[in-house]
Amino acid sequence: MFSRNDFNIWSVLKNCIGKELSKITMPVVFNEPLSFLQRMTEYMEYAKLLRVASEQATPQERLKYVSAFAVSALASNWERLGKPFNPLLGETYELMRPEFRIICEQVSHHPPISAFHADSESFRFHGSIHPKLKFWGKSVEIQPKGIVTVEFPKLNEAYSWSNVNCCVHNVIVGKLWIEQYGVMEVVSHQHGLKATLNFKPSGWNNKDLHRVEGYITDRNKRKTHFLYGKWTEFIKCTDYVSYEEYVKENAHKFKRNADDRSKSPNESPGNTPRKVLSKLNSLKMSSFKSLSIQEPDDPPEPSEGDIPKSDSTYSIDIPNSITLWEAESRPANTAEYYQFTNFAMSLNQLEDHMKQPRALCPTDSRLRPDIRKLEQGDLDGAAAEKTRLEEKQRENRKKSKKGQEELVIFPRWFKQDVNPHTKQDDWIYKGGYWDRDDDNLELDIF
**Nearby residues of 398 by Cβ (< 8 Å), 6 or more positions away:** none
Domain assignment present for 347: yes
Closest to 247 measured CA to CA, from 231, 219, 226: 226
Enclosing domain of residue 97? 4-251+304-429
Domain assignment present for 446: no
Please state, in angstroms and rounded to a whole number, the distance separating the CA atoms of residues 21 and 134. Answer: 6
Please state, in angstroms and rounded to a whole number, the distance separating the CA atoms of residues 115 and 107. Answer: 7
Q: Model confidence over 182-231: pLDDT tens digits? A: 999 999 999 999 999 999 988 766 778 899 999 999 999 999 999 999 99
Please spell the DSSP secondary structure of 330-376, one letter per residue: PPTTGGGTTT--HHHHTTT---GGGGSTTTS-TTBGGG-HHHHHHHT
pLDDT band at 103 (very low <50, low <70, confident <90, very high): very high
Please spell the DSSP secondary structure of 275-320, one letter per residue: HHHHHHHH---SS--------TTSPPPSGGGPPP---GGG----TT
- Provide the number of structural domains found in the chain: 1
Domain assignment present for 211: yes
Instruction: State residue 268's pLDDT score.
Output: 38
Report the range out of 19-28, 48-57, 80-89, 397-406 with the highest average pLDDT. Answer: 48-57
Is residue 263's pLDDT more than 60? Answer: no
CB 165 within 8 A of CB 180: yes
CATH of the domain at 9: 2.40.160.120
Instruction: State residue 119's pLDDT score.
Output: 97
Sign of CA dihedral 337, 343, 345, 347: negative
Predicted TM-score (pTM) of this structure = 0.85
The separation between CA 280 and the C-alpha centre of its own chain, rounded to angstroms, equals 29
User: Using omega within 30 degrees of 0 as the cis cutoff, is the peptide bond preceding 201 cis?
Assistant: no
Percent of the chain with pLDDT over 70: 80
Is residue 428's pLDDT more than 50? Answer: yes
Q: Model confidence over 81-101: pLDDT tens digits? A: 888 999 999 999 999 999 999
**Nearby residues of 70 by Cβ (< 8 Å), 6 or more positions away:** 161, 163, 184, 186, 197
User: Using omega within 30 degrees of 0 as the cis cutoff, is the peptide bond preceding 111 cis?
Assistant: yes
pLDDT band at 265 (very low <50, low <70, confident <90, very high): very low
Domain assignment present for 257: no
Instruction: State residue 405's pLDDT score.
Output: 56
Work out the average pLDDT over 141-170. Answer: 92
Domain assignment present for 103: yes
C-alpha to C-alpha distances, 133 to 8, 20, 23, 78, 265, nearest whole angstrom: 19, 5, 10, 17, 13
Is residue 288's pLDDT more than 60? Answer: no
- List b or e across 160-194, with b for residues whose CB sees 16 or more CB atoms inside 10 angstroms: bbbbbbbbbbbbbbbebbbbbbbebebbbbebebb
Please state, in angstroms and rounded to a whole number, the distance separating the CA atoms of residues 172 and 9. Answer: 7
Domain assignment present for 291: no
Instruction: State residue 7's pLDDT score.
Output: 65
For residue 89, the tally of other CB atoms under 10 A from its CB is: 19
pLDDT band at 169 (very low <50, low <70, confident <90, very high): confident
Domain assignment present for 176: yes
pLDDT band at 285 (very low <50, low <70, confident <90, very high): very low
Instruction: State residue 310's pLDDT score.
Output: 63
Work out the average pLDDT over 250-266. Answer: 57
Instruction: State residue 15's pLDDT score.
Output: 62
Position with higher pLDDT, 360 vs 131: 360
Instruction: State residue 419's pLDDT score.
Output: 94
Domain assignment present for 175: yes
Closest to 179 measured CA to CA, from 90, 301, 289, 87: 301
Average pLDDT of the chain, as a whole number: 83
Instruction: State residue 97's pLDDT score.
Output: 96
